[in-house]
Structure 1
Amino acid sequence: MEPLRQDGPRPETQVLAGRYRLVSLLGRGGMGAVWRAHDENLDREVAVKELRLPEHLDDAGRQTWIARLDREARAAARLRHPGIVTVHDRVTGADGRPWIIMELVRGRSLDDLLKAEGPLPPGRVAQIGLRVLDALRTAHRAGITHRDIKPANVLLEDDRVVLTDFGIAAVEGDATLTATGAVLGTPAYMSPEQVRGEEASAASDLWSLGATLYTAVEGRPPFGGAGTGAIFVAIATEDPAPPVRAGLLEPVLRALLHCAPSQRPTADDLHARLTALVQDPPGAQPTVVQPPEPSPRPARLRGRKAVRWALAAVAAVLALGLAAVAAAFIEDQWREARKDQENARFEANKRLAKRMTSVPGKVARIDRSNEGGKAYVESELCDDATFSRNDCDVDGMVTAVVNWLRAQPNVKSVNFDGPKSMCEENPGCEFTVTTEGSPKLGQVQIYSQYLSEPDRSIVLGFQVG
């Protein structure tokens, strides 16, 4: 949906809350548009963020999107830092949509700067990273995880570096708003745990900061692919390509982009390392001779052609005024993105399941769970022949499963919910498992697996992801 309908008021005539007169459009993003406006009460320029709602949304979906913008206002309003955009007000438009009134940052984004000037020197990137980190530390101390650090959300105003767009920020104690399955975040800057569908944390923001700084110094993101799914798989399963322009910043980037959150530097450690680079910059850096750019791989060529064809198709549809078709096309793209994300999560979780050692019994299958991209593992503990002789040792099976679970480094507690008499039945007996970190284990059960009547076996089943 366009920010202003063509049959509605022109920007210069629309006034919000009786005081904020829209002047010009500054930019658009996935969830909204940002306008330059004039506060007629205080005679000052401000930035106004408008929530854009897809036209196909039902009432519940509309309320979810509105709640996201409200959450941005609450999150940013709690923060006071020169590196975080100040929120002045939250108002409601004539159609019920909320708008956020913010300070106007007179500068351009890091993304715009990179497009105009190309890769930046390591020293300048370290300075930008240090400023963003200072803002992030303030947010994290307030219990707020940004979840969408990227070059487009880093604004540069003279010597000031400003972090903006808390539209999908996770506020401690606030209900999550991801139940619709939408991909929240920008694929190339989402941490491995976000790609796997796990909860974002302060360590996730630091990974995204590392990806942002990598892009700033190298001129490209650390992970790429022909589509969202390919990017997700690369992030979840591969190491980033070694940077060639980063100089002394390279060890910092490598540490930030570690796949395991616990192995990344803390905010305090990162602050010390970036401060050392900024305060004591190295001497003249050796000239790096860049090898010729390799020819694009066919898959990447196909991906770029697909994007161009998709953009051309959207432009043609809009030119014909077929709004319903355009809405359906956009909805299909969202559905495909969600499908790609779930496929990537499943492949990552399947690999984690295959790497698990000493699983009791004999692993018979690893299938996709009915919960998103999680993997479900089934391991045979007692075969049908033994079962038919009533020789299955239920006590031994329960003990073996409990001991195996407790031996997993990410498992914090295990409780057998019983009763043991149900382990030879279906749906079986259950275990309550508390995990910390990856992989997460859930739905742990011992139950009877019906193969072909009257043959039966006893299996261990559990979910990974």
Structure 2
Amino acid sequence: MDRIADYQLIRPLGEGSNGSYHLATTPRRLGIAADQVAVKVLEVAAGDEAFHRLTRELRTFAKVRSAHLVTLYDAGQEAGRCYYAMEYCPLGSLAHPAQEMSREEKVAAVADAARAAHDLHEAGIAHRAIKPSNILLTEEGAKLSDLGLVQLLAPGQTITGLGAVGSVEYLDPAIMRGERASRSTDIWALGVTLHRALTGTSVYGELPDRDPLLAVRRVLSSPPTLDPGLSDAEAEIIRRCFDKDLTARYGTAAELADALDALGSAS
């Protein structure tokens, strides 16, 4: 595929939940300074109803003002395929950075993602797909991306997205048990993301990536285990993200971001 609508696709950027990302030339009609944008093309054909769900989700997200959320430019549908365009972040993601990152830079990136999550939460939205590949890197800091699983927190206004749940590793077990996505479940995901970024390992060991049901069973039956290579301060922050007692877990993602700032300053 070398084109969708009036976007000339330059090269693939990678795979995300429910679709693929492409670097594309910016159509003149967008009226923005950037020469290139990132375009996500959903991998499943979608009718008008699915497209309306997508655009509703994007509009909800775009209304949130945050320096740490990717900027959305456009959404459309062509030949049954939905797509949306957003700012291109050439430095890669926390999962696949364009250059090696220091420990302090990784902590700062997760702190920025936590601030983005807090801004979403204050608007009544849970991201529900926080993980290293959805934390994009820029010269100014990190930005939270991938809207495929965003869910409104307001009762009766749920947006479930257009595909399967993302990586099991980053999901709070409470969601697997049928509870609603919330501030606390995103904070759980931020804790797992920090652990993965700092250690390169999962808190559950190696999960069977080809058998989601088995992976879910393992997560539900095994408490998260922290890598012994973490510092005491790092381990304490991550452990608090996982606390089963929600009153002991960070109350807001902004509180977690502040703790990560303090951790970075002490390094």
Instruction: Please indicate, yes or no, whether the TM-score normalized by the shorter chain is above 0.5.
Output: yes
CA contact (8 A) 2:51 2:82 kept: yes
Alignment match, 1:251: 236
CA contact (8 A) 2:66 2:119 kept: yes
* Aligned equivalents of 1:76, 1:212: Cα separation in 2: 22
Partner of 1:112, secondary structure, is coil
Alignment match, 1:274: 260
Q: Which runs of 5+ in 1 are unaligned?
A: 5-10, 55-60, 282-465
The alignment status of 1:167 with 2:151, answered yes or no, reads: no
* Aligned equivalents of 1:275, 1:216: Cα separation in 2: 16
The alignment status of 1:37 with 2:24, answered yes or no, reads: yes
How far apart are 1:96 and its partner, in Å? 4.0
Alignment match, 1:24: 11
Q: Which amino acid aligns with 1:169?
A: V
* Aligned equivalents of 2:176, 2:64: Cα separation in 1: 27
Q: Which amino acid aligns with 1:229?
A: L
Worse-superposed segment, 68-77 or 26-35? 68-77
CA contact (8 A) 2:24 2:37 kept: yes
CA contact (8 A) 2:24 2:38 kept: yes
Task: Give the one of 109, 117, 123 matched to 2:104.
Answer: 123
Q: Deviations over 1:413-435 (max 9, x none)?
A: xxxxxxxxxxxxxxxxxxxxxxx
Alignment match, 1:199: 180
Task: Give the one of 210, 216, 221 matched to 1:232.
Answer: 216
Partner of 1:108, secondary structure, is coil
> CA, structure 1 residues 104+123, in 2 after alignment: closer, same or farther (shift >3 Å)?
closer
> CA, structure 1 residues 32+207, in 2 after alignment: closer, same or farther (shift >3 Å)?
same
* Aligned equivalents of 1:121, 1:243: Cα separation in 2: 18
Structure number with greater Rg is 1
Alignment match, 1:184: 165
Partner of 2:96, secondary structure, is helix
Q: Which runs of 5+ in 2 are unaligned?
A: none
> CA, structure 1 residues 179+244, in 2 after alignment: closer, same or farther (shift >3 Å)?
closer
The alignment status of 1:106 with 2:90, answered yes or no, reads: yes
* Aligned equivalents of 1:24, 1:121: Cα separation in 2: 28
* Aligned equivalents of 1:48, 1:141: Cα separation in 2: 27
Task: Give the one of 104, 123, 126 matched to 1:145.
Answer: 126
The alignment status of 1:52 with 2:43, answered yes or no, reads: yes
Q: Deviations over 1:7-46 (max 9, x none)?
A: xxxx1xx352xx4332222222331122211124147211
How far apart are 1:239 and its partner, in Å? 2.2
**Structure 2 matches for 1:23-422, cutoff 5 A?**
23-41=10-28, 42=31, 44-53=35-44, 62=47, 65-93=50-78, 95-113=79-97, 122-173=103-154, 175-176=157-158, 178=160, 183-224=164-205, 225-226=207-208, 227-247=211-231, 248-267=233-252, 268-281=254-267
How far apart are 1:154 and its partner, in Å? 0.9
> CA, structure 1 residues 66+21, in 2 after alignment: closer, same or farther (shift >3 Å)?
same
How far apart are 1:178 and its partner, in Å? 5.0
Identity of matched residues, %: 28
* Aligned equivalents of 2:75, 2:164: Cα separation in 1: 25
> CA, structure 1 residues 26+52, in 2 after alignment: closer, same or farther (shift >3 Å)?
same
* Aligned equivalents of 2:106, 2:227: Cα separation in 1: 13
Query: TM-score, normalised on structure 2?
Result: 0.84
> CA, structure 1 residues 36+159, in 2 after alignment: closer, same or farther (shift >3 Å)?
same
Q: Which amino acid aligns with 2:229?
A: R
Partner of 1:200, secondary structure, is coil
